[in-house]
Chains A and B, each alone.
Chain A
């Protein structure tokens, strides 16, 4: 697969993969870029072009993952990006999935009992997902930011930093991913189709997209941020 370069035109990137639209938006990059290239847009928006490209390429090609290069970017930069994706899930993706689900239920034909089961399952999943995002935003990320600042000698070491460890937060992603996978599979394989097909398709599209986005998101957290933080913990606390 071809990867994007600093000299690639922004318009070509979107023509190649329109799923990158929300990703560029998270960086504050909006459409109407004419013939501008990645480096030109980044210069204008004062973005780190290397980071911008690494994220775009990692999202575009699931096998592209320059671990070392990504770990070289600053903790603050990575967290800032991850927080923006959290906002995007909360403000746009989850409401979109829900409105698709409402449409699906609203047009249910015949026995709606089974669709109500699907909704209960989704509701449960949503609560878990939101709790997870919230936990990261209110506890994990602030801890990481503080730890980095201690390492950079911007603030003194405090108990809340000393007594905390990133190890407490690992492993959480799997169960949430499993539930989303199950939701898809139950609809695809086992739910009797008593619904309007297009409504169900729309709901599934939304789920597939959320899943893809979450996988990429978790990959950046688990393989880039967490190992980076572990190294800093080792340096600061030992």
Chain B
């Protein structure tokens, strides 16, 4: 997942100041949008964690945009205001905050989806997952795999999801190639290419 910070403040001083305070964060892009009308150009962003910095009074105007962006991304709204402004509602940056607190806030907000950003702890397939993979590679459907391993279809699906996440291979024929390359299935006596 990519990380993006969209700063939508109608002031060059504020936008540039804020982006220089945030500075360089690993794998994070800062986008300054001014005037706010340009925001529409970023409707195509997908699969990202987005921190949107916006003035609270403009929030209502962009609710539908934020909602749309939220369908393909994780969007976190951070409001920007004067000191003493109502901080009770969600996250906010105010003019009196020091740089370090702002950075910490942004870091916290962007890491919300920690599980999605960090790869799963073990990339090694478990024994059960390997068994499931063998059967997938040999062309069995979820139902048949469930029956053979005496587990529920739901469990098969969850194993398959983990296999795909661990290996980074999504298609069935891709998994078959992986299984043959790693000699997880016996291909003696047949042309392995016909299995793909």
| A positions within 8 Å CB-CB of B | 58, 62-69, 113-114, 116-121, 124, 175, 178-179, 181-183, 185-186, 189-192, 219, 223
Contact = CB atoms under 8 A, between A and B. Distances in A.
Contacts of B171: 175, 178-179, 182
A116 B187 CA distance: 14
B173 A121 contact: yes
Interface residues of B, number: 24
B174 A67 contact: no
Contact of A191 (B43, B181, B196): B181
A186 B41 contact: no
B42 interface: yes
B96 interface: no
Contact of A186 (B40, B42, B45, B181): B181
Contacts of A124: 173, 196
Contacts of B177: 117-118, 121, 182, 186
Contacts of A68: 40
Nearest to A119: B193
Contacts of B40: 66-69
B181 A179 contact: no
B192 interface: yes
A191 B182 CA distance: 9
Interface string B179-196: 011100000000011001
B31 interface: yes
Contacts of A175: 171
Given A63-B4, A183-B174, A190-B182, 18 more contacts: A58-B44, A63-B29, A63-B42, A65-B45, A66-B40, A66-B43, A117-B177, A117-B180, A117-B192, A179-B171, A182-B170, A182-B171, A182-B173, A185-B167, A186-B174, A189-B167, A190-B181, A223-B44
A212 to B, nearest CB: 14
A175 B44 CA distance: 20
Given A117-B192, A120-B193, A186-B178, A65 B41 contact: yes
B151 interface: no
Contacts of A189: 167-168
Given A67-B40, A219-B44, A121 B174 contact: yes
Interface of B: 4, 29, 31, 40-45, 167-171, 173-174, 177-178, 180-182, 192-193, 196
The 9 lowest CB-CB distance pairs between A and B, nearest first, are A65-B44, A182-B174, A178-B170, A120-B193, A120-B196, A185-B168, A67-B43, A179-B171, A182-B169
Given A116-B193, A124-B173, A64 B181 contact: no
14 contacts: A63-B44, A65-B42, A66-B43, A67-B43, A67-B44, A117-B177, A117-B181, A118-B177, A124-B196, A179-B170, A185-B168, A186-B178, A189-B167, A189-B168
Nearest to A66: B41
A63 B31 contact: yes
A40 to B, nearest CB: 25
Task: Indicate the member of A68, A114, A119, A120 with the most B CB atoms within 10 Å.
Answer: A120
B90 to A, nearest CB: 24
Contacts of A179: 170-171, 173-174
A185 B44 contact: no
A137 B171 CA distance: 25
A189 B174 CA distance: 12
